[in-house]
Copies of this chain bind each other. A is one copy, B any other.
Amino acid sequence: MKKKLKIDSYNKKILSTLHLEGALTNIELAERVNLSPSACFQRVKALKEAGYFRNLHADINLDQLCEHVLAYIEFTLEDNSAPSRRRFVSRIHEIPEIMDCMQLSGDVDYISLSCFPNLKKLNEICSGLSDQTDLRIKHIKTRIVLERAKWFLGYPLSKLKWLDDEKFDGEMISERVSI
């Protein structure tokens, strides 16, 4: 079903454009990438079916909607055996306040970006995790986000070496939008 596609300069431009501006109509997108609407449509469809991108997401203005607290939470496990890690990661997935979680090199095993309605709730959830002894968490360190110095603007696609790069001799991918 999932077919491997050649990621030529058209597909690169389609992907990077949709990454930064997913609300374009097919016609607008086609104009930007210099294809006919039908050709553009077929490529978008093929790219999606092949898994090169999944969904679109609206970036909502949380500051405008509600009070909240962002925090990085770091986890160090007693032992990082596969079963321990599996149990920990499984538990993390059950907590929607923990928005993502990355396994790291170094002394700390995991770091997660989390969002809570207030500090009380943050403390509740962290304490709850600590108290669950079967998770074998040795240490939790919480670092509150005071300010977003730079907002996430997407992957630096123009700085990465895409696959099939030998086929790409066109101009550079679309520029990133600035705040």
What residues of chain B lie closer than 8 Å to A57, measured between beta carbons?
18-22, 56-57, 59, 154, 179
CB distance from A143 to the nearest CB of B (A): 5
Q: Using an 8 Å CB-CB cutoff, how does the interface string of A11-51 with B read, 1 for contact, 0 for none?
A: 00001001111110000000000000000000000000001
Q: Tell me, in angstroms, the Cα distance from A163 to B62 when the chains sit together.
A: 10
How near does chain B come to A151, taking the closest CB pair, in angstroms?
5
A151's partner among B53, B56, B72, B175 (CB-CB below 8 A) is B175
**A96 neighbours in B (Cβ, 8 Å):** 153, 156, 158-159, 176
- Proximity string of chain A (59-95) to chain B, C-beta cutoff 8 Å, 1 when within and 0 when not: 1111111111010100000000000010001001100
Question: Given A149-B110, A162-B66 in contact, is the A104-B55 Cβ separation under 8 Å?
Answer: no
Residues of B within 8 A of A68 (CB): 155, 160
Tally of A interface residues using CB under 8 Å: 81
Min CB–CB distance A98 → chain B (angstroms): 7
B19 touches A99 (CB 8 A): no
Instruction: State A89–B179 Cα separation when bound (angstroms).
Output: 13
Q: Are A52 and B65 in contact (CB under 8 A)?
A: yes
> Using Cβ atoms and an 8 Å threshold, which residues of chain B touch A70?
102
Contact B102 A155 (CB under 8 A): no
Determine whether the beta carbon of B19 is less than 8 Å from that of A58. Answer: yes
Instruction: Give complex CA distance A178, B59 in Å.
Output: 6
Interface residues of A (CB under 8 A from B): 7, 15, 18-23, 51-68, 70, 72, 85, 89, 92-93, 96-106, 108, 110-113, 115-117, 121, 143-163, 172-179
